[in-house]
Amino acid sequence: MKFSECTIPFLEKKFGLIERDEIECLNSWLSMSSDISDFQKQSLIFHQKELKFNIWNWNEQELSLHFIGPLISLSEFSTNAFNIFAQRNLSGIVDDIELNGKPDGIIAKGRREPEIPYFCFQEYKKELDPDGHPLPQVLGAMLVGQTLNQLNKTMYGCYVIGKMWTFVVLENRNYTTSESYDSTSDEIFDIFRILLNLKNIIKELTR
């Protein structure tokens, strides 16, 4: 089954996923503090200005190229231990079912090729696709990442719908989502801080 074919009812029935009101590791991730440099602040303001001017005109590729990509790059996820990858094949057997697809982005162990995923990312246009919602696609990819990563049963994720960013945690078969953050408001600094927190979490996982 492709990630794009996943639905929340299917994932909950087939894999026993349970939606929780909260999971402590998500609370911890969102509440961690990280310093944002003056250069990063100015860069965020610049890209936010571009977003506000173009948000209703950009298609998915333009949103990714001109806004999401620069924010991810500014977070500096490219290291010798782990890297950010886009549209790479991701597949695995979860409870005798093969799930596969090409997430919009993953942060995974490995410099040149993704090895073990830690974070899965999915983006949508300014409006929902009539065929579904990004959350089940993210959860499907996170289930595969969890299967491939035998040492860590917690997976991190995010999906973006237009200007809104929502963060996701999958711990064993329990999942929860954050409140959505508006990247056209001052919450852009929260979004960026959360990305920096993620980098610190992954650093610990790859030690």
The domain tally of the chain equals: 1
- Tell me if 42 is assigned to some domain: no
- Tell me if 72 is assigned to some domain: yes
- Tell me if 11 is assigned to some domain: yes
Closest CA to 49 of 30, 70, 33: 70
Comparison of pLDDT for 41 and 153, the residue scoring more: 41
Residues 70/43, Cβ–Cβ less than 8 Å? yes
Question: What are the tens digits of pLDDT across the range 85-143?
Answer: 999 999 999 999 999 999 999 999 999 999 999 999 998 766 555 556 899 999 999 99
Which residue(s) pair with 94 in the sheet?
Answer: 97
Check residue 36 and give its pLDDT: 97
What is the CATH classification number for the domain harbouring 136? 3.90.1570
- Side-chain-side CA neighbours of residue 61 (13 Å): 1
- Tell me if 39 is assigned to some domain: no
Q: Which domain holds residue 166?
A: 3-32+47-205
- Tell me if 41 is assigned to some domain: no
- Tell me if 40 is assigned to some domain: no
Question: What are the tens digits of pLDDT across the range 146-176?
Answer: 999 876 789 999 999 999 999 999 999 999 9
pTM over 0.85: yes
Residues 156/169, Cβ–Cβ less than 8 Å? yes
- Tell me if 132 is assigned to some domain: yes
